Each structure stands twice: as C-alpha cells, then as structure tokens.
Amino acid sequence: ELEVESYPAKLQILMARRDRGKAELDQAGLAMDRSAITAPFDAIISEVGVAAGDRVSLGQILISLFPVSNLEIRAHLPINYVKSVQLALAEGQQLEASVPNRKYLGSFPLIRLAGEAEATGIDAYFKIDAIAEQLRPGELLPLKLMLPAESGVFAVPYQAVYGNSRVYRVVEDRLQALDVVSIGQSSVEDGRALVLIRSGDIEPGDQIAITHLPNAVSGLKVQINVE
C-alpha cells in the first residue's frame, strides 16, 4: 500500500530525471553541431592549430585556410617590359606565364598590373586555375612570361651585348659600335637563351660579333670565324 501511495512521487522524480537527461542530450547535440566547422567557400587547409580533445576558448584560431578560387601569383615586371605589356592588355591580348621545368602546373594568364610603379618596374598579377591545390601562399616561383610579339627585332647571344645597350657590327674586319635596346629574351630548341634587341642601324645580313671581347671598341681589328 505504501509503494502504491508513493508511486506518483517517484514517477515525478523519474520524469524529472528523464527531462533533465533529455535537456542535457539536446545541449550536447547543440554543442556537437557548433563544433562542426564548415568553410563558406572551397578552400585548402594550410594549418591546424588544435588536436582532438583540446579545450578551446572563444576567439582561438582552430585552423587556417585559403580560398582556391582567389589565389593569384604576384611577380615584379621589369620596367623595360611595362609599356609593351600595358599596350597588349589594352588591345585585349592574353599574355601567359609558366614555371620553367614544371609544365604540369600549366600556364597562368596575366590579369592586371597593379600597385605603384617604381623605377625598377611594377607588380603583375597572374590567375591560378585548376592547380591551386599544388601551390601555397608565400611560395616562391620562377616565372617565364610570354611577351607580346615584336617586329623588327634580332636575337643574339647574351655575350654579344655590352652594357645591355650596345653591340658591335663587323665591317671590313673592324668593329663598329651600334646602340641597341633590349626588348626581351627568347630561347632556341637546344635550350640556349638569346636576348632580343632592336636597333634602327642593324640591317639584314649584317655580321654581329658574338664573342665577348673585354677590350671591344669601335675600330678594333678582328677576324671572323664562321662555324
């Protein structure tokens, strides 16, 4: 009889425990949901600052990540090439850069020149497409930029150019200095690099001295060896 009389009170106690347990379960579920981190964009995780089971505080950095779609490559474009690149972009030409010896990275389209121009050049920004996961922010890369096509230029070995502004033509076995402007660089199938020069004084068929002579000066007598 005592058990029957005390049953309603025990039932209330049990129901209260049940409700409290359910509330704790709901609270734990809410905490679990809040512990899930979802990036608002496609991203690559660059660093994890905590481990499983660590206690964290408000404002603590848990992970560092960066968006895949917004990565760019910044490179310094030398002043000699700024005007021709600006003109090409204004005309709608697409210029691309690549990383030597890493063809699997593909090419990177030049999207803009930005920043404050300096005496040495200006910053150029290139778009990264499908291979972003293979690169990391701050990574240093050598870039090779395909410059706009040029007319009226000549390709000569680097040792043929003196002070980046002069070559020597051979006329009647004597050197004749010619002022030139370095336009860019090209390469041939065997991998040798050639410098592209422009000069209003060079004519097709002229013989340019390509052996670097420390004492080169106009009037110096030389002998031509044809290979």
SS3 169: strand
- 139 with 77, same domain: the answer is yes
* Residue 79 DSSP symbol: H
Query: For tokens 């209330």, what's the residue?
Result: 12
Distances (CA, A) of 223 to 20, 174, 203, 208: 103, 8, 21, 12
Residue 131: the pLDDT is 64
- Together in a domain, 104 and 47: no
User: Are residues 126 and 93 part of one domain?
Assistant: yes
To the nearest whole number, what is the mean pLDDT of the chain?
A: 84
pTM over 0.85: no
Domain limits for position 9? 1-36
Torsion of CA 182, 185, 186, 190, to 10 degrees: 120
Q: What does the pLDDT look like over 164-173, one tens digit per residue?
A: 889 999 999 9
d(CA 135, CA 128) in angstroms, rounded, equals 9
Same domain, residue pair 101 and 138:
yes
* Contacts for 183-191: CB closer than 8 Å, 24+ residues apart: 183/80, 183/84, 183/147, 183/150, 183/153, 184/80, 184/81, 184/147, 184/150, 186/155
Instruction: Report the pLDDT value the prediction gives residue 227, as an integer from 0 to 100.
Output: 60
In the prediction, which pLDDT does 1 show?
Answer: 53
Confidence at 132, pLDDT banded by 50, 70, 90: low
97 close to 113: Cβ distance less than 8 angstroms: no
Specify whether 43 is located in the same domain as 92.
no
CB atoms under 10 Å from CB of 134, counted, come to 13
Each residue's pLDDT tens digit, 165-204: 899 999 999 999 999 988 888 877 777 888 888 888 888 8
What is the pLDDT, as a whole number, of residue 148?
A: 82
Q: Tokens in use for 140?
A: 């240093």
Residues 81 and 127 reside in one and the same domain: yes
Of the three residues 52, 68, 84, the one that is the final residue of a domain is: 68
- Judge if 121 and 53 occupy the same domain: no
Q: Are residues 155 and 227 in the same domain?
A: yes
Q: Could you tell me what percentage of the chain is helix, strand and coil, using 3-state DSSP and rounding each to the nearest 5? A: 25, 35, 45
- Written as six digits, the tokens of 20 are 């409290």
Interval 206-218 mean pLDDT: 90
Of 50, 68, 86, the last residue of a domain is 68
- Residues 197, 114: Cα–Cα separation, whole Å: 27
How high is the pLDDT of residue 174?
92
Alpha helices in 61-215 (DSSP H): 79-90
- What are the two backbone dihedrals, phi and then psi, of residue 57, each rounded to the nearest 5 degrees? -115, 165
Q: Where are the alpha helices (DSSP H) in 47-200?
A: 79-90
Q: Which amino acid is at 160?
A: A
Whether residues 56 and 80 fall in one domain: no
Please state which of the ranges 102-111, 129-138, 139-148 shows the lowest mean pLDDT. 129-138
Q: How many domains does the chain have?
A: 4
